[in-house]
Amino acid sequence: MSVDYGMYARRLLQRCVVFFLISVHFIQSKDVTMVIGEVGGAVTLPCTSDLQRLPIHLYVQRLDPVEFINGYHQTKDLPSPHPEYANRTHVDHLQGTMKLWSIRPSDEGLYECHIRYPTKNNQENIQLNVTANYSIPNITVACDNGRCLVTCSSDNGYPRRDVEWNLNPPLNQSHWRVVNSSGGTDLVSTLFSVFSSISVNCSSGPRLNLSCAVGGALSQEHTVCRPPDTSVVSVVSAVSVIAAVLLSFLVLVFSSKKKKAQTARGNQGGKGAASSDE
């Protein structure tokens, strides 16, 4: 009896695909507890919620590469904690937790807690997301020939964020544009610094107020594209009017005195002529 190796191969392939899909579904459906920690602070990883039974052992590890972080064993000595975590972690097997302090950006990632009980083994997956508040953004403004270059900068934040601009009133994109946007990482702290510069056309709009935000940190509001100061114009106009009125008054006074002097000389001349006739 001949064997259809082609059909056999196709069935084997189908079974492998089904097994792969089932495995992927199992991996994706595994519960992951999300925890957020702030750089420099402390966080507690909840390895178990079953506090009714004491575990035989509980250890925490990271993957890629596999690193034993810290743990507890009822009867055996465990390996020393990983050097990165030796003085920053503590496992409490009574509460089923591991505390981590002096948090760094490099601590972000997936943690596995392996717990063994007398009758079963358990595994908890915990995703630690690390954050750091950005400094209050600083804004600088430089204007020339009807255009203003506005720069926003902020540092010491994590993860990387983009600068967000808020213009009031809103301007059409034809009146402003981003000319530069960049960032860097501190080599020691691995925290991010970001900045962004925009060019604003002040010749086509009214007074403009703007601010910027980075990762929830908001700058103070700054005013650019200032219109002419109407108060100064009013003062200059008022001074000009007063000067004109004063000058007119002086001219009138001078003219009046001149006329009086001429009249007085005329009267004196008339009296002299009368005396001669006598």
- Please report, for the chain, the start and end positions of each structural domain, with discontinuous segments joined by +: 31-131, 138-224
Confidence of residue 1 (pLDDT cuts 50, 70, 90): very low
**DSSP symbol at 105:** G
Summarize the confidence of residues 142-163 as an average pLDDT.
93
Q: Which CATH number fits domain 138-224: 1.10.10.60, 2.60.120.560, 2.60.40.10, 3.40.50.1360?
A: 2.60.40.10
Amino acid present at 37: G
> What six digits make up the tokens of 82?
């990983």
Could you check whether the bond before residue 65 is cis, i.e. omega within 30 degrees of 0?
yes
Per the listing, tokens 């575990």 go with 55
What fold characterizes domain 31-131? Answer: Immunoglobulin-like (2.60.40)
Beta 121-131 vs 32-38: how paired, if at all? Answer: parallel
Q: Do domains 31-131 and 138-224 have the same CATH topology?
A: yes
* Residue 206, helix vs strand vs coil: coil
9/1 Cα distance (integer angstroms):
18
Q: Taking the CB of residue 128, how many other CB atoms lie within 10 A of it?
A: 19
Per the listing, tokens 């509980």 go with 58
pLDDT of residue 57: 93
114/71 Cα distance (integer angstroms):
9
Whether the predicted pLDDT of 5 surpasses 80: no
**DSSP symbol at 228:** P
100/108 Cα distance (integer angstroms):
12
> What six digits make up the tokens of 72?
């507890």
Least confident of 5-19, 40-54, 77-91, 260-274: 5-19
Confidence of residue 65 (pLDDT cuts 50, 70, 90): confident
pLDDT of residue 240: 61
Question: Whole-structure pTM over 0.85, yes or no?
Answer: no
> What Rg, from alpha-carbon coordinates, does the chain have?
42
